[in-house]
A and B are shown apart, each in its own frame.
Chain A
Amino acid sequence: MRRNQVAVVGAAETTELGVIPNMSQIQLHADAALNAIADAGLKLSDIDGIATAVETPQQIAHYLGITPTWVDGTSVGGCSFMLHVRHAAAAIEAGLCKTVLITHAESGKSMIGKLPRSTPADSLNGQFEAPFGVYGPPSMFPIPVLRYMKTYGITHEQIAMVAVAQREWAAKNPRAMMKDPITVADVLNSRMIAYPFRLLQCCLVTDGGGALILTSADRAKDFPKKPVYILGTGESVETPMVSQMETFNSSRAFKVAGPTAFKEAGITHKDVDHLMIYDAFAHLPLFGLGDLGFMPHEETGKFIADGNTRPGGKLPLNTNGGGLSYMHSGMYGMYALQESVRQMRGIAPAQVKDAKISVCHGVGGMFAASGTIIFTNEK
């Protein structure tokens, strides 16, 4: 893919975030989509490409009244939307469609119109993981972290600082769910969920959604809002079984998706002004900093504990407050993308001054998949 050929021209979240008991999951998709279409100054009939995850693209297209010429239903967990951006950019460049709508929404808290998830007893997960008492993401996602900590000498206090730093960002964001300041002691004294992780190291569970509109860079200059260009993209998958990762010291999917995006963008780590790393749990920013090549894994814990990612730090990370403090409907990738776009438009509540390049890195499943999108506001 060539750089800067495709741009985001519309971006919006649902009108409300948090607890939304008066909307079904599909209506949350529509709310986000209509907000993004209005943001782009478009009509529904202008949309000729559609992508979504969990809900099917045919469901969303029918509900909204869209007749697409390009469809993507890639559903690899919470980073599906990073993959949609990558695929949409390629499709627009290839001339398969002109204007793509990507939607996400989940009734994660209120559970209205939410599709059931199950693990069949004859699947590989059903045979070789479920019988040993895994029960939801908190019992699975942190499984690698003790090995990671032992290998690299990372401390409990350093990982607690991930939550503390992100709460500082959330305090600046009126839409964040959790804004009260917290300390390392608060994190380490909060209720135990799955050792070594406690409540404040686990993401929120909320209702909400978001949507993006992409089109070619040539058309983007005629849109009402400042275009945000796609500079580089990457994606990969590893395994749906957390126990079968190649190593717990790294994510193979991260190590493919991240560097692929950096190479395509033609940038170095020094060029990055703003970084989002999908933080369903507090260890993910550490894995991300190491696997994306910002520093050796041995240094990730100290880097965060020293305050480099907090407000005023040299590498602003998860500036909306992240999945730990902003919101998390179950699939957080769309909210990370929204914050990168806000930062590149210069309208984020905790705006990073003069930011020109934003890296947005996602994870799907329990380290099962990954997608990375690098944005810029300079053509």
Chain B
Amino acid sequence: MAEPARAKPKPTPETQHFWDGTQAGELRLQRCDACANVYFPPRPFCPSCASRKVSVFKASGKGKLYSYVINHRPAAPGFTAPYAIAVVELDEGPRMMSNIIDCPQTPEALELDMKLEVAFEKLDDKITLPLFRPAKG
């Protein structure tokens, strides 16, 4: 029997551009054309000024570790404890939840404000997740 898989996102019309982006190897955010606010998660209007004139753009994929927990129990399906559930502060401003890869899942290795860069993990033909790893250089 196959191992239980991690929870898989199901895109909606307003979030499809984000998931199309990760599949193409891009982290896509939205910016308000009226007030320049950059925001996440996706929605077709600005949560700061309510303008519907918003654009999708390719983010740098760079950020820093804002906070995290290392979950020991119980592990979510598809995960082996202990594993870190992290919140990344992107250079463009918004924060997003993710996992930190290529890094020991320990308090010593996971230093707050450490620089991170996006990495993409393909789950299937439709969904690729944005994960983060310690930035090189």
Contact = CB atoms under 8 A, between A and B. Distances in A.
Contacts of A191: 72
Given A193-B72, A195-B107, A127 B97 contact: no
Main secondary structure, interface of B, reads: loop
B62 to A, nearest CB: 18
A131 B41 contact: no
Contacts of A142: 69
A192 B72 CA distance: 7
Interface in B80-119: 82-83, 85-87, 95-99, 107, 112
B85 A133 contact: yes
B96 A243 contact: yes
B9 A126 contact: yes
Contacts of A248: 66-67, 87
Contacts of B99: 132-133
A161 to B, nearest CB: 20
B11 A127 contact: yes
Nearest to B69: A194
B4 to A, nearest CB: 12
A135 B10 CA distance: 18
Contacts of B98: 132
Interface in A109-138: 119-122, 124, 126-136, 138
A145 interface: yes
B54 to A, nearest CB: 17
A192 B71 CA distance: 9
A244 interface: yes
A371 interface: no
Contacts of A136: 74
A41 interface: no
A196 B67 CA distance: 11
Contact of A134 (B9, B41, B85, B96): B85
Given A135-B74, A193-B73, A244-B41, A147 B67 contact: yes
Interface in A225-274: 241, 243-244, 248
A139 B71 CA distance: 6
Contact of B71 (A120, A128, A129, A194): A194
B136 interface: no
A127 B9 contact: yes
Interface in A191-241: 191-197, 241
Contacts of B72: 191-195
A49 interface: no
Chain B CB count within 10 A is highest, among A135, A142, A144, A145, for A135
A121 B82 contact: no
Determine which residue in B40, B82, B95 has the highest number of CB atoms from chain A within 10 A of its CB, and name it. Answer: B95
A128 B7 contact: no
A131 B129 contact: yes
A127 B15 contact: yes
Contacts of A193: 72-73
A62 interface: no
A143 B112 CA distance: 12
B96 A122 contact: no
Nearest to A136: B74
A146 B70 CA distance: 11
A281 to B, nearest CB: 11
A150 interface: yes
B83 A133 contact: yes
B85 A128 contact: no
Interface of B: 6-12, 15, 40-41, 66-76, 78-79, 82-83, 85-87, 95-99, 107, 112, 129
11 contacts: A131-B8, A133-B76, A133-B79, A134-B71, A139-B76, A143-B68, A145-B67, A147-B67, A193-B72, A194-B71, A195-B82
